[in-house]
Chains A and B, each alone.
Chain A
Amino acid sequence: MSAAASRPLCPVCDGPLEADGPCLACFFKDAVEAAPSAGDVTAPGADIPGFASLGRPALPAVFAKHRLLREIGHGGMGIVYEAEDLRLKRTVALKLVRSAAFARPEELARFRAEAETVARLDHPNIVPVHEIGEADGQQFFTMKLMDGGSLAERLLQGPLPPREAAGLLSKVARAVHHAHQRGVLHRDLKPGNVLFDAHGQPHLTDFGLAKLVHVESSLTLSSAQLGTPHYMSPEQAAGRVREISTASDVWALGVILYQSLSGRVPFAGESHGEIFRRIQDEEPPSLAGKKAGADRSARPVPADLSTLCLRCLEKEPARRPASAGELADELDRWLRGEPIRSRPVTSLERAVKWGRRNRKLSVLGAALLSALVAGSVVSTVLWRRAEAARGLAERNAARAVSGAVAARAAEHLAADNAYFATLAQALATRERGDLGFARQLLAGLPAGRRGIEWRLLQWLCRGDEARRFGLADVRPRCLAWEPVRQRVAVLGEDRVLRWLDPADGAMEAGPTVPDRFAEHAAVALEKGFHELAFSPDGRHFLCGDGDVVIIAETASGRVLHSAANRHMGGVWLDDRRVLYAGNTVWAATSGEPGSLFDVLTGVVEKLPGRIYAPLALSPDRTLLAWSRDRPDGVRVEVLPVPDLARVAAAPRLHARRFSRAARLRAGQDASRHGAGRAHRPAEEHRRVRAGRSPAPFQHGPGRAGPCAGVQSGLGRARRGHRRPDPAHLSPPPARAGHADL
């Protein structure tokens, strides 16, 4: 019995749990990140003389020409020591980097490359890296020693006064901006990484290294080792590693500012999961006017600083301040008593943002909202554009002599704002890598309004190697290539068939596939679409909807036929005939065999032989593979397609009538008469006259039986006809007009 089936799995890592409960793998993962053992009395072998001190370096120890004096701290990255540089006689901080961070040599090489880049950062508010090296197989680097503690320690005593917080964050933001300009992201900004020197000046440390430890190493991805998640941006919290950008650092600066002002983080929670969810889904509580902490004597948080916080904490990276430098500028403006340029987040904007995250709920409110947007001059737009917009609105208001003028101005402004909002959305979409959707957004902008920025963005959205197309709200259930125009058919959860043009990502809605579930409710279970296949001429399609198979016209969506069985599958034998069947396991119990449906005649022919899904047709449509229920078990069988006729018809109609000799005769007969069209079976004529449908496979020479035609059809296929000639397979002359497919 397999363990997976019988033993509970760990909810954290999905590994098997021990019989008595614990997940050993999780505990060992913790141990990868754990601090080296303190040399205490319970050390292994403590009862053995001479082994008691094992476990951690005895200090002071000498390492790589440094004397380690004391441990300052340890964390995911490694251990930090206060150390004396024995050559230069100065005190430094020496950080031993955990070897766990480098599973592969190329990771080590990348660490060294990045560490060297960081070492070249030269900014008064960045902790300078002195040396990067390796000794005894141990990577380490040394930095200037900061002995004023960290911001994390400072914040333990409560929030900072607003001016102090702004001044501090301005310096930190400038340092971050300096690094960004040199291509270095911090990725792990938090109060613990803001250190103070002896003069109380803040310095940033651990630039860019977080990525090496937390993202690149597969072992360190468990939430226990991610460290504190409070400062992660939504894109980091969602694990969208490729979207991490300078804007992610701006977010973290916003969190630090928020915490410095209020003493608490904007998104708190009981667990990592809860914090991640809040970061992605919730708006931070506004700070404006609130007293920091519980201290009633504290001054309220100034509205402008609250605005700046919330602007940094925008879920969409494109809506945050464009750079850390811009945040620093804003903070400096506030410190100088000048008005800031960021606009407060209006309640309308909050509503829009809520709506964006709760799209379904907000559909009803959309009409109301758009009316509001049109009526209100200040609408939801790109925030940087907003200032200009506001200026324009004010000028207009000043100039307005009549309500009509003001209304026109408002209208103009609203259109303008919508344009920029769409541009911003396209830019954000492009940053997500969804170039197709970005292009769609751009294509939707009025041609007359498009400026240089539109052209630039359009250009930036070109040349997508792995063309990716956003589907907006469509949740695709089935994809298929439509054969004639070579478009991608997308069958959505909403039952609408859409056409995606692979050249430009343009999406065109096609027919809606009617729901036939109710008709077949006795047999079918509702499970949603699982199959979509087009006839070779693209005129018809078959789709599996739960346990119902639907055959419909591509252009109109008109259902020609539907049938139900368990796990239906089907293949198009040619332009008109589709073979469908239920899955072996289920259909065998229901006794429903495979069936052939002819889209021209509407005739369903049940195959007496037991043919069951899954079915597969060879690319040249000459060989069919299917599973078949035999007394000795289920098999996969392969048969030339024309021989299906025998499977279909022989047992019932001609089971006893065809000897091998007769088949041979029929074959000779057929080859002598080409397609054998002239040999329309008298019997079939009689059947038609009697008002019965022609059997789809009874197209060969009549009395000689279908096999003659079959053999001849197969022979033709071998001579290079990719499909049996439709005329050859055609029904009686009365219907021949339909045969020119």
Chain B
Amino acid sequence: MQPTDSEAGPKAGGLFPPTMWSVIVAAGEPDAPAALVALERLARAYWRPLYVFLRQRGSDHDSATDHVQGFFEHLISGEVLRRVERRESRFRSFLLAVFQNWLSHRHERADARKRGGGAVHVPLAEFDSVVSDPALAIAGESPERIFDRRWAREVFDRSVARLDAEIARMDRSEFQAELRRRITGPQAAQPAWAEVGAVHGVPPGAVKQAAHVLRQRLATLLRSEVRAVVGTEAEVDGELRYLIELLSTPGNRA
């Protein structure tokens, strides 16, 4: 007795709507414009891990910048979308694999800028801001693992940025922003809630409660950020587990 099943709203991925990555994977058409735009924007959001990966492999700042920019050119050519295989379940591993592939065949292509592509996808000023990235100082680990670490950090930073955007629309956003800074700051383990409360005129218990709510919200955003770049709902937990394991082992830093 199945007729009712046809009433299901979204089909792919079962109960939950498809993830952004699964939509890209399922686009099929090499020049599906929405999927292309999505892929390029998603990749652009994650350019920092690519840059760190290159630097860790020994490139200098300028050539790393060039390569990352050139890679985005390549992404929107549509060629990549055709190469997306359905077995690629995580955007993270897909992006790095395609990037490495592109690097190794780069000599066969004309340099992006010579070809006249030249569109700057990431402002150069942003590239300059990443030269002091702590991930660049990690030593004794493979560039691939450092890529994953930087990836985790990117996911975290994006979630925090989204939380900050939400906070900006909240009541008492100054108070909330202060809480957010303390939650993610160096004193996260011993936050002085009473102090915050005194400054903003909020009882310590309420400060604690608000901080808890904020932390929960950040967790939700993190989950949603991870969800966007894996294939199915079930893979969210697998990806989170992988990242937790990665982050729990101390990386060697020079």
Q: Give the B-binding residues of A (Cβ under 8 A).
A: 1-4, 6-7, 10-13, 15-25, 27-38, 40, 42-45, 47-51, 53-58, 60-63, 65, 67-68, 86-87, 96, 98-100, 103, 135-138, 219, 270
Contact A33 B152 (CB under 8 A): no
Chain A CB within 8 A of B224 CB: yes
List A contacts of B243 (CB < 8 A): 24, 28
B20 CB contact (under 8 Å) in A27, A32, A54? A54
List B contacts of A67 (CB < 8 A): 4, 7
Contact A99 B134 (CB under 8 A): no
How many angstroms between the C-alpha atoms of A270 and B193 in the bound complex? 12
With CB as the reference atom, state the residue of chain A lying closest to B133: A19
Chain A CB within 8 A of B15 CB: yes
List A contacts of B162 (CB < 8 A): 42, 44
How many angstroms between the C-alpha atoms of A20 and B181 in the bound complex? 11
List B contacts of A31 (CB < 8 A): 219-220, 222-223, 226, 240
How many angstroms between the C-alpha atoms of A136 and B200 in the bound complex? 48
How many angstroms between the C-alpha atoms of A611 and B165 in the bound complex? 68
Contact A2 B234 (CB under 8 A): no
With CB as the reference atom, state the residue of chain A lying closest to B23: A51
Chain A CB within 8 A of B18 CB: yes
List A contacts of B233 (CB < 8 A): 36, 99, 138
Measured between C-beta atoms, what is the minimum distance from B29 to chain A in Å? 14
> Which 6 pairs of residues, A with B, have the shortest CB-CB distance?
A136-B14, A37-B224, A21-B186, A34-B219, A30-B219, A44-B228
Chain A CB within 8 A of B10 CB: yes
Given the known interface contacts A44-B228, A96-B15, the answer about A21 and B187 at a Cβ–Cβ threshold of 8 Å is yes
How many angstroms between the C-alpha atoms of A253 and B242 in the bound complex? 38
Contact B189 A12 (CB under 8 A): yes
A/B interface sample: 10 pairs, CB < 8 A? A15-B247, A24-B153, A24-B243, A28-B156, A30-B216, A45-B38, A57-B10, A58-B10, A61-B15, A87-B1
B224 CB contact (under 8 Å) in A20, A53, A55, A98? A55
List B contacts of A34 (CB < 8 A): 216, 219-220, 222-223
Given the known interface contacts A56-B16, A138-B14, the answer about A27 and B156 at a Cβ–Cβ threshold of 8 Å is yes
B1, B153, B233: residue with the most chain A Cβ atoms closer than 10 Å: B233
Q: Tell me the dominant secondary structure on chain A's binding face.
A: loop
How many angstroms between the C-alpha atoms of A30 and B226 in the bound complex? 13
List B contacts of A19 (CB < 8 A): 134
Contact B244 A32 (CB under 8 A): yes
List B contacts of A270 (CB < 8 A): 208
Given the known interface contacts A65-B5, A103-B241, the answer about A23 and B215 at a Cβ–Cβ threshold of 8 Å is no
Contact B247 A62 (CB under 8 A): no
B17 CB contact (under 8 Å) in A16, A32, A55, A63? A55
Measured between C-beta atoms, what is the minimum distance from B209 to chain A in Å? 12
Contact B224 A7 (CB under 8 A): no
Measured between C-beta atoms, what is the minimum distance from B195 to chain A in Å? 15
Contact B14 A36 (CB under 8 A): no
With CB as the reference atom, state the residue of chain A lying closest to B182: A21
With CB as the reference atom, state the residue of chain B lying closest to A16: B250
How many angstroms between the C-alpha atoms of A25 and B37 in the bound complex? 31
How many angstroms between the C-alpha atoms of A296 and B107 in the bound complex? 85
Contact A30 B184 (CB under 8 A): no
B156 CB contact (under 8 Å) in A24, A33, A60? A24
Contact A15 B250 (CB under 8 A): yes
List B contacts of A42 (CB < 8 A): 162, 165-166, 221
Contact B227 A37 (CB under 8 A): yes
List B contacts of A54 (CB < 8 A): 17-20, 227-228
List B contacts of A18 (CB < 8 A): 134, 153
With CB as the reference atom, state the residue of chain B lying closest to A140: B15
List B contacts of A58 (CB < 8 A): 9-10, 17
List A contacts of B224 (CB < 8 A): 36-37, 43-44, 55
B145-188 vs A, Cβ < 8 Å mask (1 yes, 0 no): 00000001100101000100110000000000000000111111
List A contacts of B112 (CB < 8 A): none
How many angstroms between the C-alpha atoms of A584 and B193 in the bound complex? 51
B193-220 vs A, Cβ < 8 Å mask (1 yes, 0 no): 0000000000000001000000110111
Contact B186 A63 (CB under 8 A): no
B224-254 vs A, Cβ < 8 Å mask (1 yes, 0 no): 1111110011100100110110011111111
Chain A CB within 8 A of B130 CB: no
B184 CB contact (under 8 Å) in A21, A47, A49, A60? A21
How many angstroms between the C-alpha atoms of A4 and B250 in the bound complex? 7
Measured between C-beta atoms, what is the minimum distance from B46 to chain A in Å? 11
Contact B253 A25 (CB under 8 A): no
B18, B228, B247: residue with the most chain A Cβ atoms closer than 10 Å: B247
B15, B153, B166: residue with the most chain A Cβ atoms closer than 10 Å: B15
Contact B253 A1 (CB under 8 A): yes
Contact A44 B225 (CB under 8 A): yes
Chain A CB within 8 A of B42 CB: yes
